[in-house]
Structure 1
Amino acid sequence: MTAANQIYDILIIGAGAAGLFLAANLHGKSVAILEKNPSAGKKIIASGGGKCNVTNRYISAQNYLGDEEFVTKTLLNLDFSEVLEFFSELKFKEIKQNQFFCASSAKDVLGVLLRASQQSGAKIFYNCDVKSVSKISDPTKSDANAHNGLSNSQNEIFEILTHNGQKFSCKHLVIASGGLSYKALGASDIGYEIAMSFGMQVARTAPALVGFTVQKDEFWFKNLSGVSLNAEISLSAKNIAERKFSGDVLFTHKGISGPAVLNASLFWQKGTMSINFLPNFSFKNLNSKKQLSTILPLPKRFTLEFLKSINLADNSFNEYSQAEKTEILKLQEYKFAPAGTFGFERAEVTKGGVLTNELNQNFESKKQRNLYFIGEVLDVTGMLGGYNIHFAFASAKVVSDCLELRLERWLNYN
């Protein structure tokens, strides 16, 4: 297919959750979606263990790292029930912490998004890796029209050049290109490059919802690869209130992962965290003569490895000296300073991105009219639990409402 000589009302870069949901909510407009991969929604298919967690019953700004006021206003535009209604042909199971997973598969979620976007008239161009974006004069507007009540922005269009030499033109450009996580799924930094090319600021990016690698003191974690247990992680940093994350912790050959760790990674700013491996346990009146590895509500393998790390044998609690007991009690406040993270290749999302203070509440650039940024490309990142895909949908909904109104006004000028 070719887009030669056509000026689209709206062009969307990225056929992921945000881009497809936006296209699905635009009607009666000429819409094109450029996707660098040979197929759409690769990250959607991989999400939620192949079940795609589309939303959460309890969505609030507290579930996100980003500007609280901006996030709060955005979330007001889309309730979790509206997301479920959009996917009403599918069944969802509410499990874990009020998360909604597709009862069949993530492929079915993608299928609904693709059908809805195509029914709205959007054209998807695959294998279109965007190289650059520029603003040019609209060739359909005469010089006379330029002085006939039309603003400069209405006499200009965006020109998008792809790496294979294709050119696309549009009146409104929406960047829904995502972040840097999962490069194997086609991750790209093009969204950040476009923002910076128009003078916008981009916050430093980093892997998020990702496991931690360990320093020498925690090399014993690696010997527990495959072991999982429930724990509570506490984070505190300068000028930031303490945060706690409860859930499973999984030990791997690289370090430590699992839901509690992944959520902690979103807010971690280097330095030390505290892990309570026994969040609902008291050492008081622990008088049993049985060995510690038998008494503690922890995987025996974990307890033995922990004792080995502090050079203690597996005895009954009362057999330990007071100093040794103090070391054991650290199980409820184990200080841990990660060496780093597993990196973008293993991260579920990217934190950092296009600063939201560069946008108005309609997600439009303050520095370039008719240029929008939605979804993960922004400096807004959610915890595990359907929060990121919900924000992608919510940001797309805001832009769809804005563009519907703006294009109505645009038509009235002509």
Structure 2
Amino acid sequence: MDNKIIIIGGGASALMLASLLPKNTANVIESNAKVGAKILVSGGGKCNITNELMGTQYFLADKTFIQHALKSFNEKALLRWLERQNLMPVLRKETQYFCKDSAKELLDIFLKESKKQKILTNEKVMDVSKRDEVFYVKTDKRTLTADRVVVASGGLSFPKLGASGIGYEIAEHFGHSIVKTAPGLVGFTVQKDQFFFKELSGVSTDVVIKIGDESCKGALLFAHKGLSGPAVLDASLYWEKGKIEVDFLPNFSWEGLKKSKKQLSSLLPMPKRVTKAFLVQLKIDDKIGTKITADEFSLLQTLNHYSFAPAGTFGYAKAEVTKGGVCTDEVDARTMMSKKTEGLYFTGEVLDVTGRLGGYNFQWAFSSAYVCSKSIK
């Protein structure tokens, strides 16, 4: 047997697992020339590792399934592990932990730690089968054998970085269900009625977006394709089709507006370009508050619940993660092992677990790898 364990993938979850396993127990197979490509580009190149505010409420997932892993290796345990490797993440944006200078700091740790295992790069997994308790992993270069296989191949986002659906294909081959996949943490394209958004490209404003029971707070960025920014990316996790509601004036008090002698473009707490664009859409002149009619006042208040249906999303090429994936009902939450095939494991993004912006997806990658490593060891 080539090695006891084969890890398919070379991203965050795969590298954490390789780092945690005993020496010379695993082969890591990565289709790219180098491992960790997605780590290097994440968080604007600084890698948002985790978040002080951690909990199941920040994930689109079966809450019971993810709870065990998030508790077994929480954000504090992750930070302690990183500190032992001489990486001291810095707190930014109030609750988010980033690498101090660049994502390379984190990748360098994984490169050092995972040297305990055999890393096979530029090698593409084509198929996985099992006969007589032995897994056969066929690549474009050879066939490897192992007694355990861990699928940590990620999702479909960032195809230019080598993303593929091989993890889903392997899961289906062994009888697993795949929850429908879609781009996640991604911008929205807009329909004709909202084409004026594109004219505001580059402008950002704070909003609250509501989709069903979920609320996403933060900046909305007008883009040449439609809408982006943290609030929009978070909202994309919960949107499938239909309308969303945007509060463009969160916490704004309307009291006193009709008594003010300031222009509306100065009164409303949005960038002037945004205010003026909405005034044009609402057919209201940029007048002083005292000259607002009752009908105009009512129209302005619709900015607290501006409702529209996105045309779609920017797609996998711009998506930070993939929604959907291997159904978690068919995976043991305590071990990450398949309930259908002994010795087959799934970790990270390939599972139907998606976190919001802010380090949640990396935390899941690391927590699920930790639980898997404990089970294997």
Q: TM-score range by the shorter chain?
A: over 0.9
- In structure 1, C-alpha distance between the alignment counterparts of 2:16 and 2:87, rounded to whole Å: 16
Q: CA deviation at 1:200?
A: 0.7
Q: CA deviation at 1:329?
A: 1.0
Q: Which residue does the alignment assign to 1:16?
A: 11
User: CA contact under 8 A between 2:157 and 2:318: conserved in structure 1?
Assistant: yes
Please give the TM-score of this superposition, normalised by the length of structure 2: 0.97
Q: Which residue does the alignment assign to 1:98?
A: 95
Which moves more between the two structures, 227-236 or 315-324? 315-324
Flag the structure with larger Rg: 1
- In structure 2, C-alpha distance between the alignment counterparts of 1:31 and 1:72, rounded to whole Å: 27
1:281 aligns with 2:275: no
Q: Deviations over 1:29-59 (max 9, x none)?
A: 5210000000010110011111111111121
Q: Which residue does the alignment assign to 1:65?
A: 60
Residue number among 391, 395, 399 corresponding to 2:368 in the alignment: 395
**Ranges in structure 2 where 5+ consecutive residues have no aligned partner:** none
Residue number among 108, 114, 118 corresponding to 1:117 in the alignment: 114
User: CA contact under 8 A between 1:97 and 1:385: conserved in structure 2?
Assistant: no
Q: CA RMSD in A?
A: 1.1
Q: CA deviation at 1:314?
A: 1.1
- In structure 2, C-alpha distance between the alignment counterparts of 1:297 and 1:157, rounded to whole Å: 64
1:201 aligns with 2:201: no
Q: 1:40-189 residue pairs with structure 2 within 5 A? A: 40-88=35-83, 89-118=86-115, 121-137=116-132, 156-163=133-140, 165-189=141-165
Q: Secondary structure at 2:14's aligned position in 1?
A: helix
User: CA contact under 8 A between 1:54 and 1:83: conserved in structure 2?
Assistant: no
Opposite residue 374 of structure 1, the aligned amino acid is T
Q: Deviations over 1:324-346 (max 9, x none)?
A: 22111111111121111111111
User: CA contact under 8 A between 1:200 and 1:354: conserved in structure 2?
Assistant: yes
- In structure 2, C-alpha distance between the alignment counterparts of 1:367 and 1:234, rounded to whole Å: 38
Which moves more between the two structures, 260-269 or 374-383? 260-269
User: CA contact under 8 A between 2:24 and 2:118: conserved in structure 1?
Assistant: no
- In structure 2, C-alpha distance between the alignment counterparts of 1:220 and 1:7, rounded to whole Å: 59
Opposite residue 271 of structure 2, the aligned amino acid is P
> In percent, how many aligned pairs have the same letter?
47
Opposite residue 157 of structure 1, the aligned amino acid is V
- Aligned length, in residue pairs: 373
- In structure 2, C-alpha distance between the alignment counterparts of 1:86 and 1:290, rounded to whole Å: 55
Segments of 4+ in structure 1 off by > 4 A? none
User: CA contact under 8 A between 2:70 and 2:364: conserved in structure 1?
Assistant: yes
Q: Which residue does the alignment assign to 1:315?
A: 287
**Ranges in structure 1 where 5+ consecutive residues have no aligned partner:** 1-5, 138-155, 237-241, 405-414
Q: Deviations over 1:197-246 (max 9, x none)?
A: 1111000000111111111111111110000011111111xxxxx12111
Q: 1:255-266 residue pairs with structure 2 within 5 A? A: 255-266=226-237
Q: Which residue does the alignment assign to 2:327?
A: 355
Q: CA deviation at 1:81?
A: 1.8
